[in-house]
Amino acid sequence: MRKLGILCLAIVLIFMLGGCAEMFISDEFKQIMEQTPASMQEIWEIDDEYEFVSELSMHIAEKCDYGSNLDVLSDEEKVFYITQTLEMEVNNGGFWQFLYNVEEDVFSNTVSAFSEIGAEKTAALCQNAFSAFEKDLPADRVARIQFLSGVGMEECYEILSEYDDLFYAYEEDLNKLNYTYVQNHADAFS
């Protein structure tokens, strides 16, 4: 996860400062970014649960081209990818960002993915957030963006902020639940 955060920061710097950002990038960052992503064999050798889930998350995201090709994933890898995507998006910009960014397959399967890993409170929280609007949210991303635009960004934030706060409270240890899920379905991850 550290690599992903550093990468995001670097992209923002490069975008904001143009080519001049190169002089601000540390040698440590350059070394991190030049590292080859961990192979599945290397991931399975990681003892720390947090590091294991973080590395696997990056591996699975790269494998499916960051959600553009979910068909290459096993059902279990999809569950893992979906739970990791929601967590990353909500932690980065709230439920609004998740609803705005994800494709239909991810959105439509979020609640069931959290149920699948045993995170029933998070599944219910997601269902409540998705049902917080007067009308049902469209599964199709373009239609969902149009719907959210019609509601207005400020009102969306207002509607979803209570669910963001509940999510940030982390009533369930999602990292532990994902780790256990992966360990219990090890044969499905490649």
Nearest CA-CA partner of 116 in 55, 62, 57, 182 = 182
> Are residues 173 and 82 part of one domain?
yes
Residues of the chain with pLDDT under 70: 1-37
Burial 41-72 (b: 16+ CB within 10 A, else e): eebeeeeebeebbbbbbbbbbebbeebeebee
> Are residues 45 and 128 part of one domain?
yes
> Are residues 183 and 99 part of one domain?
yes
Three-class SS of residue 165?
helix
Is 63:73 a contact under the CB 8 Å cutoff?
Answer: yes
> Are residues 112 and 159 part of one domain?
yes
Q: What are phi and psi of 125, to 5 degrees?
A: -60, -45
Q: Hunting for tokens 């980065």 — which residue is that? A: 92
- Report pLDDT for 17: 47
Question: Can you give the residue range of the structural domain that contains 28?
Answer: 1-35
- Report pLDDT for 31: 53
**What tokens appear for 48 in the block?**
């720390």
- Report pLDDT for 27: 61
Cα–chain center distance at 183: 19
> Are residues 61 and 17 part of one domain?
no
Domain total of the chain: 2
Q: Residue 168: how many CB atoms within 10 A of its CB?
A: 10
Domain CATH code at residue 127:
1.20.1420
> Are residues 13 and 98 part of one domain?
no
> Are residues 51 and 4 part of one domain?
no
> Are residues 87 and 8 part of one domain?
no
> Are residues 71 and 18 part of one domain?
no
DSSP 13-80: HHHHHGGGGGGGS-HHHHHHHHSPPPPHHHHHT---HHHHHHHHHHHHHHHTTTTTTGGGS-HHHHHH
> Are residues 143 and 54 part of one domain?
yes
Distances in whole angstroms, Cα of residue 179 to Cα of each of 10, 51, 84, 174: 29, 10, 11, 8
